[in-house]
Chains A and B, each alone.
Chain A
Amino acid sequence: MTPEQPSQRPTVISIRGLKKAFGEREILRGVDLDVHEAENVVVLGRSGTGKSVLIKILVGLLRPDAGEVVVLGQKVHQLSPKDLDALRRRVGFSFQSSALYDSMNVSENLSFPLTMNTKGLGAGEVRERVEDALEAVGLAGSRKQMPSELSGGQRKRIGIARTLILRPEIMLYDEPTAGLDPVTSSEINDLILQVQQNYHTASIIITHDLACAKSTGQRVAMLLDGEMLRVGSFAHVFESTDPRISAFYAYNFMQSEQT
């Protein structure tokens, strides 16, 4: 029996005709994308092409100018604030800057979304969930550390752990390997795959790092000039003769040669 293909599984994110402009600058010009259950989709593109805007629209941080976004069966921009919060509890968002709360230590950073969203949790249960999440990202001993004491890679891991604590069904990663050395980047890529396997999450990974795209994505979507130029496997996307896609590949290749 052949394993079930991701495209045969139910769709958890559906984006149709998505448009977004900031002032006179059109960022997204009609984006279409589907993400299926337990599937990792990488959105590749140059800086400033609206990759982060795309995932911010998915969680209602930004409103689109046109188009439809359906996440876990709900039209995001028609939800009441209460329903939007309920949806956000099911979607994890890992920020490029990690966005850890500076005034809280690691343990408080993790327990904060949990205690604010779950009533009646005992201190013991909170501690257990924090320890589980820290163990999942391989930083079990860092409970008392402050964010300023952590390295870039550790901050990324804690940022991911903070989203995992609410046990999301979808993970959105914004540039998970940006600013990290190649070894730490590779560890973060492994972590993204572990999260997918252990938590059965569907993910969108926003990146311009080809190594990250190749190792984490079952499908790759190339976002250039506000549109999805090509969607498919990594090999399929880069088979394209479109000069914009080959230029992107060549640039990354040159960068990896230099480093």
Chain B
Amino acid sequence: MPPRPAVITPGIDAFAISVHGGVMFLRRFFAEVLRPPYHFREMIKQCYEVGYKSLPLVTVTGFITGIVFTKQSRPSLAAFGATSWLPSLITIALVGSLAPLITSLICAGKLGSSIGAELGSMKVTEQIEAMEVSAINPFKYLVVTRTVATTLMVPALMLYCCFIGLVGSYLNVHGSEATSLAAFVKGGFSSIGFLDVGSSVAKCFVFGFTIGIIACYQGFNATSGTQGVGKAANRSVVLSMFVIFIEEVLIVQITLWMRGF
């Protein structure tokens, strides 16, 4: 029999099918997440894997970002004799934009690739089917637990990244301007409000969910042996980073609208 002709073009057809697959995967996630059993032990294990094991990377990047951003901002402010605004500037930048983006991009790279590759290799070696035939719901055990873990841990890592970045910044400011800790904290926190912190945390819940669900989707649908595992890991990282940037733009617009801008 001749192959069935494409409805639009083969490329557009394949894209439409993958979008449909993604939507069905999302729908299944929301249908399963509140239904027991909850696999709390596996969820806690995944939170440990996702959160605790990412701490060294977030510590180093957050600390360096705090120092470098402070150093690079100083000359511009010094030109106006306004270096005393450094704590305020750094806090606004870190809490509002830098920490959520840095944390989520690091997590997209580290967690996206590891979850995509882990689930992908489980798929191609029939481990996911082995769960199914043992009457264990692999979607609930693998996808729900990992996605919940990334959703909860990315905001926590972001807050930690803010703290570490501010520590780095304070050490630099203290070394150069002899600013006291009290003055740094006062300067920094007087310039941000609940909406700044709240919107960043909310943003990171969305970013964490995005990383988890995309990596699980790619891993769960991996095909073609070891090559498929590599593709699943690669697509998890690239696609989640791309979606995170789009979400960032949308959430910033919503936050500005809520502030009346």
Contacts and interface: CB of A to CB of B under 8 A. Distances in A.
B133 A117 contact: no
Nearest to B2: A24
Contacts of B126: 95-97, 99
Interface in B106-149: 118, 121-122, 125-127, 129-130, 132-136, 141
Contacts of A99: 125-127, 129-130
Contact of B3 (A24, A85, A88): A24
Instruction: Name the residue among B121, B125, B141 with the largest chain A CB count within 10 angstroms.
Output: B125
A102 B121 contact: yes
A238 interface: no
A173 to B, nearest CB: 13
B3 A117 contact: no
A164 B227 CA distance: 33
Instruction: Name the residue among B4, B135, B136, B141 with the largest chain A CB count within 10 angstroms.
Output: B135
Interface string B1-30: 101100000000000000000000000000
Number of contact residues on B: which range applies?
10 to 19
A102 B129 CA distance: 14
Contact of A86 (B122, B127, B129, B135): B135
Interface residues of A, number: 25
B129 A117 contact: no
Contacts of A249: none
A92 B59 CA distance: 47
B1 A101 contact: no
A129 interface: no
A117 B4 CA distance: 43
A85 B135 CA distance: 5
A59 interface: yes
A102 B127 contact: yes
Interface string A70-106: 0000000000000001101101010111011111000
B130 A61 contact: no
B49 to A, nearest CB: 10
A86 B141 CA distance: 18
B133 A91 contact: yes
Given A93-B130, A95-B130, A117 B125 contact: no
B130 A117 contact: no
A113 interface: yes
A93 B128 CA distance: 13
A224 interface: no
A24 B4 CA distance: 9
Contact of A97 (B1, B125, B132, B141): B125
The 4 closest A-B pairs by CB, nearest first: A99-B130, A113-B134, A85-B135, A99-B126
Given A24-B4, A88-B135, A116-B136, 20 more contacts: A24-B1, A59-B133, A61-B129, A88-B132, A88-B134, A89-B134, A89-B135, A93-B133, A95-B129, A96-B126, A97-B125, A99-B126, A101-B130, A102-B121, A113-B134, A113-B135, A116-B141, A162-B130, A162-B134, A166-B134
17 contacts: A24-B3, A56-B129, A59-B133, A61-B133, A89-B135, A93-B130, A97-B125, A97-B126, A99-B126, A99-B127, A102-B121, A102-B122, A112-B134, A116-B135, A117-B134, A117-B136, A162-B134
